[in-house]
């Protein structure tokens, strides 16, 4: 992958960073998507957007997903053996779980307050809205969710990407490895080596991000016309406002309060992961990039990050909870139902619990919303109203979700003394270009080793 160059004031040529390239690709994707949407050509929609762009986007998301399970496995093995003390492991687990629940609960509570103040959905006319085909999901009981953390078959857990089961099994494996002591040296070295290899593969996949992101964004914006947004504009604006408030306000306040770290530096360093989350609408698929941002760009040690990031991608969904809060208030207003304080407290509890058992994949927030609505007796058919705009909202809330994961990870790392401040404060730390460089001498030596003549 060649990088684009731009002249510097002193006449030299400076490489455009990958983050800048990805941001530009995103902007270009939005412009192309909006233009294609306005043109509305059958040929473009079927062959270029539905064909070429869809193919590139899918390949890119598949490539990210391809990384998740082996990366989480190897980095978590290294993480557990790196911590070396089971009590510390328990403390990291407890702290991150507590913070994840706290941020989600605060997120939805603030969302409900904001939505109640703004009052979207009042006087909405339901006539002409097709509500057929919407059916509710039953919330899994908390007990079932916890029981399901223990896999009956670890191979099936890995094959199906069951994140909580994978985390559980890998931690047990890491503990057993630790218990075997010096006999495990070879295994630990191999896992460390595989972890390095996986991080290289992440860098390779990320190098294709500008193309992948462009295709994904252009496709979404071609398919999403502005006409979908107009009827529910009040809902969209309230939701986006609440999401941004959480992103730049609450989360940054948490970061500053609990870790003392600079929120502006944090925001700059997490940007690549946010763009990936926005483009893929999946916290899970973004795990490799989030992990890379918090370790190589922010200096969190792998021993904390390898656990906190995949754990957060599964159980922590601040943005999704905010959507549920705003959507509940919106639908209550549309149907003229007063939920009262008890109703809203139920919504908060349900959203926090539902986020634990559901993985970070596109659209899961809506499924969780059906559980929340049925719990407080709101008609589930109301979801038809917001279905059309949900893809774009999903993209934004997923970016908020992974930012929450990264905030908690850095707080835990900092409070455990596992954050390298020099890395955090170095603006160029963890640039992908550097890690893609191939050491030619070493490569030649390896080739000679592999094919002795």
Question: Which residue ranges make up the site for ligand ASP (CB under 6 A)?
Answer: 281-283, 317, 320, 360-365, 394, 397-398, 401
- The Cβ of residue 230 has, within 10 Å, a number of other Cβ atoms equal to 10
Measured from the CB atom, is 290 or 333 closer to ligand ASP? 290
Measured from the CB atom, is 80 or 289 closer to ligand ASP? 289
CB of 100 to ligand ASP, least distance (A): 13
Residue 395 CA to residue 422 CA, distance in Å, equals 32
Tokens representing 278?
A: 């926005």
Q: Where are the alpha helices (DSSP H) in 127-162?
A: 142-147, 154-160
Measured from the CB atom, is 78 or 402 closer to ligand ASP? 402
Residue 450 CB partners (closer than 8 Å, separation 6+): none
φ, ψ dihedrals at 335, nearest 5°: -90, 0
CB of 154 to ligand ASP, least distance (A): 24
Measured from the CB atom, is 107 or 173 closer to ligand ASP? 107
CB of 372 to ligand ASP, least distance (A): 12
Measured from the CB atom, is 32 or 394 closer to ligand ASP? 394
Q: Which residues pair with 187 in a beta bridge?
A: none
CB of 421 to ligand ASP, least distance (A): 29
Tokens representing 92?
A: 């990291």
Element (H, E) at 15: strand 13-15
CB of 390 to ligand ASP, least distance (A): 8
Measured from the CB atom, is 77 or 323 closer to ligand ASP? 323
C-alpha neighbours within 13 Å on the C-beta side of residue 314: 21
Measured from the CB atom, is 218 or 392 closer to ligand ASP? 392
Measured from the CB atom, is 381 or 394 closer to ligand ASP? 394
Q: What distance lies between CA 255 and its chain's CA centroid?
A: 18
CB of 124 to ligand ASP, least distance (A): 23
Kindly list the distances between the CA atom of residue 173 and the CA atoms of 69, 148, 160, 233, 411, in Å, as whole numbers in the listed order.
Answer: 15, 18, 19, 50, 26
SS3 419: strand
Q: Which residues pair with 327 in a beta bridge?
A: none
The tokens 């549309």 sit on which residue? 334
Buried b (16+ CB within 10 A) or exposed e, 314-343: bbbbbbbbbbbbbbbbbbbbbeeeebeeeb
Tokens representing 102?
A: 């706290």
Measured from the CB atom, is 306 or 316 closer to ligand ASP? 316
CB of 264 to ligand ASP, least distance (A): 24
CB of 239 to ligand ASP, least distance (A): 12
Residue-wise DSSP of 129-155: ---TT----PPPPHHHHHHTTS-S-HH
CB of 42 to ligand ASP, least distance (A): 30
């Amino acid at each position: 992958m060649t990088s684009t160059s731009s002249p510097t004031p002193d006449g030299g040529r400076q490489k455009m960073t990958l983050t800048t390239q990805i941001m530009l690709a995103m902007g270009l994707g939005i412009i192309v998507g909006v233009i294609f949407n306005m043109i509305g050509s059958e040929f473009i929609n079927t062959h270029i957007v539905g064909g070429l762009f869809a193919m590139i986007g899918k390949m890119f998301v598949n490539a990210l997903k391809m990384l998740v399970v082996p990366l989480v496995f190897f980095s978590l093995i290294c993480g557990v053996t790196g911590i070396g003390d089971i009590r510390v492991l328990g403390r990291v687990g407890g702290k991150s779980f507590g913070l994840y629940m706290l941020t989600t609960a605060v997120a939805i509570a603030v969302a409900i307050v904001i939505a109640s103040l703004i009052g979207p959905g009042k006087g909405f006319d339901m006539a002409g809205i097709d509500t057929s085909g919407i059916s509710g999901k039953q919330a899994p009981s908390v007990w079932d969710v916890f029981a399901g953390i223990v896999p009956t078959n670890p191979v099936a857990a890995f094959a199906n990407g069951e994140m909580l089961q994978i985390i559980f099994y890998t931690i047990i494996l890491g503990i057993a490895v630790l218990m075997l002591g010096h006999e495990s040296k070879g295994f630990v070295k191999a896992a460390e080596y595989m972890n390095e290899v996986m991080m290289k593969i992440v860098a390779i996949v990320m190098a294709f991000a500008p193309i992948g992101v462009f295709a994904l964004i252009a496709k979404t914006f071609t398919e999403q016309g502005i006409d979908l947004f107009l009827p529910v504009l009040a809902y969209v604006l309230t939701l986006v406002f609440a999401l941004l408030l959480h992103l730049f306000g609450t989360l940054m306040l948490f970061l500053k309060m609990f870790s003392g770290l600079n929120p502006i530096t944090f925001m700059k360093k997490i940007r690549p992961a946010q763009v990936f989350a926005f483009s893929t609408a999946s916290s899970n698929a973004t795990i490799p990039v989030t992990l890379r941002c918090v370790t190589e760009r922010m200096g969190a040690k792998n021993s904390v990050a390898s656990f906190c990031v995949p754990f957060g991608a599964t159980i922590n969904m601040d943005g999704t909870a905010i959507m549920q809060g705003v959507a509940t208030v919106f639908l209550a207003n549309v149907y003229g139902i007063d939920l009262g304080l008890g109703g809203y407290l139920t919504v908060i509890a349900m959203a926090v619990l539902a986020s634990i058992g559901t993985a970070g994949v596109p659209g899961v927030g809506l499924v969780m919303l059906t559980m929340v609505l049925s719990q407080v007796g709101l008609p589930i058919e109301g979801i038809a109203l917001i279905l059309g705009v949900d893809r774009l909202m999903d993209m934004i809330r997923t970016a908020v979700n992974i930012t929450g994961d990264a905030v908690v990870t850095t707080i835990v790392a900092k409070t455990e003394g596992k954050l390298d401040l020099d890395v955090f404060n170095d603006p160029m730390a963890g640039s992908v270009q550097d890690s893609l460089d191939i050491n030619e001498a070493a490569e030649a030596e390896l080739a000679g080793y592999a094919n002795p003549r």
